[in-house]
Structure 1
Amino acid sequence: MNKLHSMSLLDNADFLKSVLDACSDGILISDDKGNVLYVNAAYESTTGLTREQMVGHNLKKLRDEEKLFNFAVSLLVLEQKKPASIIHEYITGKKALTTGNPIYREGGQGIVGVVCNTRDISSLINLRNELEITRKLLEKYSDELQQLRQQNMQQYEDFVYKSKAVADMLELASKAAQFDSSVLIQGESGVGKELLAKFIHQQSPRAEGPYIRVNCAAIPKELFESELFGYEQGSFTGASQKGKPGMFELANEGTILLDEVGELPLTVQSKLLRVLQEKEVFRLGAQKPTKLNVRVIAATNKDLALEVKKGNFREDLYFRLNVVPIIIPPLR
């Protein structure tokens, strides 16, 4: 019974018309003379052409005289007697792929009409265009990245090296340069800690600001505070009557390198910690602090973690300095 019912539905012209009307693709059916017999709602929506304009009219007349479109796949199918496809942009602005197939008489003798399937592919074309734009952007960014890498290689010309470890270290230093975080450079004497510190400064946004190097191992213990933090006039015997800015003030808006930071006395370490925390400095004899905007780089040939365990270096200061640790490999 169900099978018989299904067969009767297929023989029902109204049912078949309802099927075509329900299709999401546009459907146009014409006879062997190019006269339009049927279009569905999806065809109207995609092409912008109505049933009233199309049904009962000849495609050649609609194309050549009324200029409703400039190409008709159905006519091409009738002419070539085989399936044909085109991509066409309609007055709606939509781009569609239309495929026409011949309808043969029973037994395959001669064509009695053409059925055209029109599918809106605007979104696919837009996606293809977006992908093409993305591809071009990727090529552009790839070229720019290559240029930046070449520039970085030029920036590394002051360094003579062959090992990947040094190359990785320089890349880390280049990245660290872009931020204001404190950097702790560790390495044996003579491996280029000061050179690396200057490189970080030159690659940073502070490159136009001052770069001040303080050799902590060369300053007498009794002069540490006055050299680093400065002093006011008459603050101690022998002090300049004009006062003196310390190294931190001289480095304001730039970078200060605390070379051999492991040599700092514990008393100075506590005051240095305050400078890093509060971003201000008290000159000796001053009643109010001086605000600072300084990037701090520290360098040492000592194992500061070990010095912390020995009690020679403050743990809190170590963590303040060791935000970005960079270890320079030994030269040997």
Structure 2
Amino acid sequence: MDRSNSLEPHTADGRFGRWLRGTLQAVGIEGENTSFTSELTPSTTQALTLLRLLVGLVMLYDAWGSLSWSHKTEMASFLGVGMESAWVALVVAGVSFLKIAIAASMLSGRGVTKLGWAGFFYGLFVWIAIEHGGDFGQDATDPGVGLAYIILFLFVIGAERLRSDPDLSHNEILAFARVLFGLLWAYDATLKLQPYFLDHYLDYLTAAQKDVAGTWQASYDQIWIVLSQAVGPQLVAWLVALTEAAIAISLFSGRWLRVFGPVGLGLSFVIWSTAEEWGGPYSMGIASMMPMRLFGMAVIYLLTFFYVWAFYNPLDLLNRSRAAVLSEAK
């Protein structure tokens, strides 16, 4: 199919966006397979708007976290200067302003694509410069929060393009976001399949529980610890790793996402509420003690899976079953 002129209508993508779309087309990523996706309806549009607003609230909260004293201390340490240095105030102000600008765009619906790319590049900077491409220690369990933000903003940008071109088969950005999300989960699964995680799975939960000793969160963690002990910690660790691998395959291929999308959403919630202790910039440092203060990673996974839900709605399975039953009844 000739797509040579398909880049012209989407001027809001900017030069980089058009270059990326052209590159994706060149490697065969031209859009979603609409035989797998759900039909776009007014309800889908409303859901995507709500998700954009939630992304805006996350960025607003990130900006608030960036203004905290502990964040300034972390930034001074990262820059290798004292707290009295003007560089600390300048960089913190710059980071906070960027996050506020992105939040304002997401909340107002103005300049979403341009500020979405700003969020994309910010996540890329955090992932490369701050996280060095992820955690490669023996106790690593994820590829870093920066990559999660990169993928989330790709979904935001791809969803915004639907306003001018509702054809998912022409939306390279959404397809790329899904594939990249699949690679992220494949990375996650690979880390979970390492002997250290399989042998120390329960240690992650008990360590998180100690950090919140004496609170309701400790009691919540205890429930998961007891359940894991009842099933067998190593068996649970294997189940987590294999589930993540299945999620990765589903995301990468675009198949079975009406099943594995909700599974990924549920698993992300469990990780966020246990090992990450509802982690965010407000936490006690469990999830996000870093110079570019951001929400805990699993909550970003949650938001991203809700985007996947919008395009691969699991309710379609119920509707098809109901239609089949009615057809047989006739």
TM range (shorter): under 0.3
Which structure carries more helix by proportion? Answer: 2
Which structure carries more strand by proportion? Answer: 1
TM-score, normalised via structure 1 length:
0.18
Structure with the greater alpha carbon radius of gyration: 1
TM-score, normalised via structure 2 length:
0.18
Larger RCO (alpha carbons 8 Å, 6+ apart): 2
